[in-house]
Amino acid sequence: MMKLRSVFYLLFIALILASCAAKEKIEAPVAKKVPKELTIHGNTRIDNYYWLNERENPEVIAYLEAENAHTDAVMKHTEALQKKLYEEIKSKIKPDDESVPYRENGYYYYDRTEADKEYFLLCRKKGSLDAEEEVMLDVNSMADGFEYYAIGGASVSTNNRILAYGVDTLSRRKYTIYFKDMESGELFPDAIPLTTGGAVWANDNKTVYYTLKDDVTLRSMKIMKHVLGTPITDDVQVFYEEDETYSTFVYKTKSQNYIIIGSESTLTTEYRYLDANHPESEFKLVQPRVHALEYSVDQAGNYFYIRTNLDAQNFRLMRTPLNATEKENWEEVIPHRSDVYLSGFDVFKDYLVVTERIEGINRLRIMPWKGEEYYIDFDEEVFTVRSSTNLEFDTDTFRFSYTSLTTPSSVFDFNMKTKERILLKQQEVLGGFDKNNYETKRIYATAGDGTKIPMSVVYKKGMKKNGNNPTLLYGYGSYGYTMDPSFSLSRLPLLDRGFVYAIAHIRGSQINGRQWYEDGKLLNKMNTFTDFNDCAQYLIDDGYTTSDKLFAMGGSAGGLLMGACINLRPDLYKGVIAAVPFVDVVTTMLDESIPLTTSEFDEWGNPKDEKYYYYMLSYSPYDNVQATDYPAIMATTGLHDSQVQYFEPAKWVAKLRDMKTDENPLIFKINMDYGHGGASGRFEWIHETALEYAFIFDQIGIKE
């Protein structure tokens, strides 16, 4: 089999080289067809590329390598441009940087980077920022020899002596938890594989709780208890989530008094609690699960504080005594409002801070327990503000982060009594960056049903709406996740070359509250795709761009968006980048052994139900590829992707090659060493961004 792989690959490389030498069209790899019948509900689909699911098949690997070779050949003439873009982006990154320290249990914690090194150092100082630095983890040395290396969670015991942290070296999000003695620097023999990476300490400094994953589906399914120094085989299962549509997790309350186990599906949550001082005791239910009842829990003083959708589509805030936690005992702190989405809260001794979304914009509401409430004001029309690290309970200081499409990420300390705000750090962008050279605003497209769809746009000042601006439209639109406008230095090469950059806040997110999400999921999912195309059409009609200069981009569920949108309106776009795209919706959602499938029935529907099957079939990108002209397409994936398996885009690309009727480029880049999030290093990701931008620029003749 290895000989077959080598022959296949070498023959393909020879073909490419011959094509290049003859200055002819570069031939793309052609995946063989092995028809497989997939039948359900009396409907049979023929999947000619199902065989590409075989991850261990050398012929599959050879095909993927041939796709990479084809991408290299097609993009070879842009290598100088890619190098220029790489250096351009890298030159804007501060080589030696440091995060804003936060205080916890007598120590200041932060991470920092050193010039030209790919990874960070996790550090702390005792008592004062003037104290001697203690390097807890030097990830650069730890990652030496690995193609991929990620730290997943780090937590310190209550006595500050032992560090627990997770490590993933494959990019499948399977972390092994290690324990480090911070006095000696030695690792304990305890090493716990197949976890989510985080460990939660009880207050006895020896007991930890962690989440165990299923090795095949990667579902977070068990909460285990480990006592440091004992065999892993003696670990105790304290909770098992039997329902395969749920996943489970564990955390500690801000007060450090309670350990909380959460269990969630798309629509329903359930929590249990344990006194962190008594890990030998049993977890107790907060409120038993009720279908479609969502709630989350923190503790302060004599109460559990609960954010919930109980009789409140946009959520409200409740509290309940520590000894009477079921919903019959909940009392209202902040009522439900139909025009305000309550997205989060922080509890302090003298204050409650609430994060709300009003008219699509995050706002911070300061509510003293005694005194007048108020909102923190900001100057820009479109921005993103969030609560940052707020671990102290008895304080007047609230820390928040602020960013916009023109303002680099900034961290502030805000005095809730005096209303004074102090800028602690703003992301430094090298190379003469000036935010005043750019402009951001919010505009609205009108969907086919009359709904106003918001877009956040940014461009260099002086842009004229003459229909001549290259434009990149970005979207996601699933899981209720909102792509808030934030700064990205990697976006500057676009803006500085005259691009308009736009984010389409389509239905399926929660930018306009919970109903916005409900209107873009399950049997309303088609709204997500038509909203995006309506945003694209608006940008053309309002003079921002033309279809000959309009590009679209999305990743994961946003890759599904790309595939569905170009099936519906391939004429709208000059080119599309589909990153790690979820494009084989029906087949994946019928296979419960694939990661994420069972937990997402409430998002997409369960195709074993006939009405969901046919609805999903109507938009699934892979199932709806047609014999027509498509825009230029770049697809990416990672061989070890844990969220969207590599074979989805592989099959999609193969089918597109076979059926599309145009001569536009279609390239497929597979990271053979990475997964869903791409490279783990600080600079490695720039190579892929440079390739994406070079692909876009090449379509409209930008050569430098």
For residue 125, give the H/E element and its range: strand 120-126
CA dist 580 → 518, 530, 671 (Å): 24, 21, 10
The amino acid sitting at 341 is Y
Output DSSP code: residue 105.
Answer: T
Burial call 390-415: b when 16+ CB within 10 Å, e when fewer: bebeebbebbbbbbbbbbbbbbbbbe
CB 381 within 8 A of CB 441: yes
3-state secondary structure of 336: coil
Which one, of 696, 225, 185, lies nearest residue 473 by Cα? 696
- Round to whole Å and give the CA distance between 432 and 689: 21
At 161, list the tokens: 């002596």
At 250, list the tokens: 């564990």
- Round to whole Å and give the CA distance between 254 and 278: 17
Residues in contact with 663: Cβ distance below 8 Å, sequence separation at least 6, in sequence order: none
- Round to whole Å and give the CA distance between 227 and 192: 12
H-type alpha helices, 308-422: none
* Region label for 127, one of left (φ > 0), alpha (ψ between -120 and 50) or beta (otherwise): left
Burial call 524-548: b when 16+ CB within 10 Å, e when fewer: ebebbbbbbbbbbbbbbeeebbbee
Active site residues: 556, 641, 676
Query: Tokens 């007060």 sit at which residue?
Result: 255
- Round to whole Å and give the CA distance between 377 and 356: 13
The amino acid sitting at 676 is H
- Round to whole Å and give the CA distance between 431 and 449: 46
Alpha carbon dihedral 139, 140, 146, 149, in 10-degree steps, equals 40
Which one, of 667, 577, 566, lies nearest residue 621 by Cα? 566
Query: Tokens 């002086």 sit at which residue?
Result: 462
At 488, list the tokens: 């990205």
Which one, of 299, 304, 301, 292, lies nearest residue 265 by Cα? 292
CA 197 vs. chain centroid, Å, equals: 17
3-state secondary structure of 266: coil
- Round to whole Å and give the CA distance between 290 and 285: 13
At 585, list the tokens: 């919706």
- Round to whole Å and give the CA distance between 703 and 687: 17
Q: At what angle do helices 557-568 and 526-541 cross, to 10 degrees?
A: 70
Output DSSP code: residue 456.
Answer: E
Which one, of 100, 112, 108, lies nearest residue 424 by Cα? 100
The C-alpha angle with vertex 591 and arms to 590 and 597, in degrees rounded to 5, equals: 85
- Spatial strand order of the sheet with 351-358 comes to 340-347, 351-358, 361-368, 374-375
- Round to whole Å and give the CA distance between 357 and 296: 18
H-type alpha helices, 474-522: 492-495, 514-518
Report residue 582: phi and psi, to 5°: -90, 90
